[in-house]
């Protein structure tokens, strides 16, 4: 379980980093209200993006909320007679671009090409992300070792066997005093 948590945390940091890379490389910004990226294109066209790490990061309800946020953000822009295109961009792992109900779900390759204007950007980014994840995992190793040591001290007997009674009724955490 600890390895799953560690992997999930590293993936979360990498996804956040990649999302920030998309803003920097595109020259766009995060307007808020559930939209992750807004780009101004020639011809008074605005592109709004909801960004997901990969296909399996959100359930259907979360994906529906992303689309609703895009539509909500587009409404006042369209009222001001601006042309607005809506996209869900996938940072990595999506193979196919599809369009449904006015929202285009871009493949990862298409997303990166569209926001950076650079063909072949995704493989370079994934290579850098892999290097970064190795560095982050190494940096987190001290925390992992500390957490494992604390877990063994709290939930194992001297033979390092799991004490189910302690797992079922864990000791209360010490209260922290507020500093004045």
> Which residues are CB-contacts of 136 (< 8 A; sequence separation ≥ 6)?
10, 13, 14
pLDDT of the residue at 79 = 95
Q: What is the 3-state secondary structure (H, E, C) of the chain?
A: CHHHHHHHHHHHHHHHHHHHHHHHHHCCECCECCECEEEEECCCEEEEEEEECCHHHCCHHHHHHHHHHHHHHHHHHHHCCCEEEEEEEECCCCCCCEEECCEEEECHHHHHHHHHCCCCHHHHHHHHHHHHHHHHHHHHHHHHHHHHHHHHHHHECCCCCECHHHHHCCCCCCCCCCCC
pLDDT of the residue at 136 = 67
pLDDT of the residue at 1 = 46
Query: Which residues face 98 on adjacent strands?
Result: 105
* Structural domain spans, the chain: 2-129
pLDDT of the residue at 92 = 84
Q: From first to last of its 180 residues, what are the pLDDT tens digits of the chain? A: 444 454 555 556 777 888 899 999 999 999 977 899 999 999 989 999 999 887 776 677 778 899 999 999 999 999 999 999 999 999 888 999 999 999 999 999 999 999 999 998 988 887 877 776 676 667 667 777 887 888 888 888 888 888 888 878 877 777 767 665
What is the total residue count of the chain? 180
What is the rounded distance in angstroms from the CA atom of residue 110 to the CA atom of residue 131? 23
Q: Supply the pTM of this predicted model.
A: 0.69
- The CATH code for residues 2-129 is 3.40.1560
- At 38, list the tokens: 């807004």
pLDDT of the residue at 12 = 67
pLDDT of the residue at 168 = 82
The answer to whether 54 and 91 have CB atoms below 8 angstroms apart is: yes
């Amino acid at each position: 379980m600890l390895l799953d948590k560690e992997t999930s945390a590293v993936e979360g940091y990498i996804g956040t980093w990649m999302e920030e890379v998309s803003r920097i490389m595109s020259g766009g910004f995060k307007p808020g209200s559930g939209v992750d990226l807004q780009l101004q294109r020639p011809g008074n066209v605005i592109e709004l993006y909801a960004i997901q790490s990969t296909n399996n990061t959100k359930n259907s309800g979360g994906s529906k909320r992303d689309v609703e946020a895009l539509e909500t953000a587009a409404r006042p822009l369209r009222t001001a007679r601006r042309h607005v295109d809506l996209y869900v961009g996938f940072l990595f792992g999506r193979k196919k671009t599809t369009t449904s109900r006015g929202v285009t779900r871009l493949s990862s390759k298409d997303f990166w090409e569209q926001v950076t204007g650079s063909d072949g950007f995704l493989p370079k980014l994934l290579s850098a992300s892999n290097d970064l994840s190795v560095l982050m995992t190494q940096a987190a190793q001290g925390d992992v070792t500390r957490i494992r040591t604390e877990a063994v001290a709290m939930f194992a007997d001297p033979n390092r066997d799991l004490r189910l009674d302690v797992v079922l009724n864990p000791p209360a955490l010490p209260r922290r005093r507020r500093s004045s």
